[in-house]
Amino acid sequence: MKFSNFKMNVSRIGSFFKNLLFPPKCVACREFMQKDILDKCENPFCEKCRVKWELEKLSRCPDCGLEMTVCNCAAPLLKKSGVDEYVKLVNYSAKNKSVGKSAILHVKRTKNARVFDFFATQLSYSARIKNNTSDKNTVIVTYVPRSRNSKLKYGFDQSEELSRKLAKKLNVKHSRLFDRRGKQKQEQKKLGLNERRENAKNLFFVNRSKLEMLKKAERVIIVDDVITSGASLYGCIVALKKHYNGKIICVSVARTGKKK
């Protein structure tokens, strides 16, 4: 038996036990996904939900009318942030059901490599993220860190997971640039847009040990799972701009906003 065959068989046996112990479920409808028990399941969605996901990607942005994968809008709070690109895959509203929404809620609670891998792959197709011209060493992929309480509660940071996978797919550096300051004084939801913007300015700071690395950077890709109010992302952008004036690209799986 050739070594490559042997390796393939070992991996199939691995998949067998994994499928037996944790039968793969669709992250949107939670149905079991019919699969050969020896095959590794790589899709987060069942076939029906996968079709819905692709349709959600084609849906039009309520603000600019373009398809979500080409639209460059973000939350109103982020309008004057001076960021070059806002890349995302889908848009969902808080009220309506959607497979994008189910998947996002799922990865906030469950560290599911299959889903993170799928999202990272889909995002890596975006021409706006890819960088073929400049030196790979000048690109940093980073993320909006989850609050400490939330990270303790769930045991992981979903944006960190996603950003690591994306960096790997793009074959560029990954680094945790941002840290969170202590607790927020007021609840963001109750504030007006300007107040939120002012508040967000002090939410994050750039880790001192990363300043040297930032000097050589030309592109920083900030990953967040979903853009809702945009306050956390805005806080990171403000913190970053104090030390860096190169290109900034914000990447998220989804944004929330009303549908027209």
Q: Give yes or no for residue 63 binding Zn ion (CB under 5 A).
A: yes
Query: Using CA atoms, how far apart are residues 178 and 233, in angstroms rounded to an integer?
Result: 11
96 or 132, CB closer to Zn ion? 96
Q: Give yes or no for residue 120 binding Zn ion (CB under 5 A).
A: no
44 or 235, CB closer to Zn ion? 44
Q: Give yes or no for residue 90 binding Zn ion (CB under 5 A).
A: no
Q: Give yes or no for residue 64 binding Zn ion (CB under 5 A).
A: yes
Least Å distance, CB 131 to Zn ion, is: 23
For 63-81, b/e burial (b = at least 16 CB within 10 A) is beeeebbebbbbbebbeeb
Query: Contact 137/61 with Cβ under 8 angstroms?
Result: no
Give, in order, the Cα–Cα distances in Å from 90 to each of 85, 256, 257.
Answer: 15, 9, 10
Query: Using CA atoms, how far apart are residues 161 and 141, in angstroms rounded to an integer?
Result: 12
Sequence-ordered strand ranges (E) for 45-175: 85-87, 90-92, 139-143, 173-174
Least Å distance, CB 138 to Zn ion, is: 28
Q: Give yes or no for residue 217 binding Zn ion (CB under 5 A).
A: no
Q: Give yes or no for residue 68 binding Zn ion (CB under 5 A).
A: no
Q: Give yes or no for residue 103 binding Zn ion (CB under 5 A).
A: no
Least Å distance, CB 40 to Zn ion, is: 18
Least Å distance, CB 258 to Zn ion, is: 12
Q: Give yes or no for residue 115 binding Zn ion (CB under 5 A).
A: no
Query: Contact 149/182 with Cβ under 8 angstroms?
Result: no
- Applying CB under 5 A, which part among 1-9, 71-79, 184-192, 248-256 lies near Zn ion? 71-79
Q: Which of 210, 214, 215, 232 is nearest to 223 (CA)?
A: 232
Binding residues (CB under 5 A) for Zn ion: these are: 26, 28-29, 46, 49, 61, 63-64, 71, 73
